[in-house]
Amino acid sequence: STISGVQSPEEAQYIYQEIWVDSVYSMSPLAYDPFEDTETFSTIVDVGAHVGLFALWVAQNLKRASTQRQRQEGKASHREADEESSREKDQGEEDGQDRHNAGSSTKTTSSSQAPMKTKDIQTRIICVEAVPRNFHLLERNLKQNGYEPRKLRLPLVPATCYAATNKSAARFNRSKNVDLTLVEALAWSKGGEKRHITVYPNMTGNSTTKPHQKEDMISSMSYAKRAVYTAGAHTQDATTVTLSQIFRALGVERVSLLKIDVEGAEEDVLEGIEAQDWKKIEAVVLETHDVGDRVKRLVRILMQEKGFEGISLHRDPHAKHNLYLKVTRSAKSEDTC
């Protein structure tokens, strides 16, 4: 995969390292694979999509899973065809012997079945990004890598009107392995509001609705690095949307993975998921920061209030202030499954 147009090559390299090399958003060590094929069309939600590196990583994993499944189904189909052919051959020999004994000259014809057509893994990826420049690069990078993302129009309207007003986004093309929908908005606890985002042009992945929480990190930088990091920092307004509003707009029935990287607003995003939608979500992975009792609050919300059972928490080896919290519906881990 390739990306272009990023303001900071250093930041792009760091994000590439954590997603593509370190696989911080994989569900290991929990025994859960969000890319596993099921009979239900699933959705992977990317909140804080930035310029598309996570979405491209997901698409790559889905392609790999689809290829593996096609190979397995192809082998199984060939075995079934060989077995059927063998059975028909044996039956033909028996029928021929019977006809010979009866003086019949009737010929037999083979009716072996063609190999079964393999089924693709079909998954929708929903990317939510609030910073306009990031959103532009997100769309550009997905197209540059051969995908055809569609955009969900805002503002969202009452649920009964979603299908009529967002037809292009609501249609899930199930003939494709990956269906990408982009939402230019700020995922929040309430939709339809305006919120300020502090944007750091040289480090856009750190843009945040809670700039005061960046003070410790910024103060720990060298003067030169701090000057680069904060240069041109400014605020922009973003329209808010809840994840439940997006789920309704797109008819989401199952979320195999919810990824959240929103620079301190994790709880605000989670509050935007209505009670009836939590049962659709099978796993959550989020980046958070060791600030106050935030991690404890997130664990309480996900484990005690929302009913997740499996949990993993680890620190980013390249940035000590970053933590990755992963939860699944099952308590199994890779070494116990």
Bin 232: left if φ > 0, else alpha if -120 < ψ < 50, else beta. left
Rounded Cα distance, 131 and 207, in Å: 8
121 alpha-carbon distance from chain centroid: 13
How many Å apart are CA 230 and CA 93, to the nearest integer? 83
- The CATH code of the domain at 9-64+121-328 is 3.40.50.150
**In terms of pLDDT, which residue wins out, 234 or 165?**
234
- The pLDDT tens digits of the residues spanning 118-166 come to 444 478 999 999 999 999 999 999 999 999 999 998 887 654 444 444 5
3-state SS assignment for residue 300: helix
> What is the rounded CA–CA span in Å between residue 184 and residue 238?
9
Residue 232 pLDDT level (bands cut at 50, 70, 90): very high
∠ Cα 205 211 214 (to 5°): 75
| Whether the Cβ atoms of residue 230 and residue 204 lie closer than 8 Å to each other | no
> What does the block give as tokens for 260?
């959240």
Cβ contacts of 69 within 8 Å, gap of 6 or more: 37, 118, 119, 121
Residue with the larger pLDDT of the pair 118 and 253: 253
The alpha carbon dihedral of 138, 53, 249, 193 has a sign of negative
d(CA 203, CA 131): 12
Q: By the 8 A CB rule, do 120 and 66 touch?
A: yes
Domain residue spans in the chain? 9-64+121-328
Which amino acid is it at 120?
Answer: D
Instruction: Determine the Cα–Cα distance for residues 121 and 94; give it in Å rounded to an integer.
Output: 42
**94: its two tokens:** 């028996």
Cα 18 to Cα 24: distance, rounded to the nearest angstrom: 6
2-61 confidence digits (pLDDT tens) = 777 677 888 888 899 999 999 999 998 998 988 875 555 789 999 999 999 999 999 988
Q: Which residue has the tokens 């700039």?
A: 211
- Return the closest-CA partner of residue 264 out of 235, 297, 237, 226: 297
pTM score, whole prediction? 0.81
Which of 292, 82, 97, 56 is closest to 180 using CA atoms?
56
Under 8 Å between Cβ of 44 and 255: yes
Give residue 333's pLDDT.
67
Q: Which range is least confidently modeled, 73-77, 274-278, 306-310? A: 73-77
Q: Is 89 strand, coil or helix? A: helix
Question: Residue 323 is which amino acid?
Answer: L
Which has the higher per-residue pLDDT, 202 or 320?
202
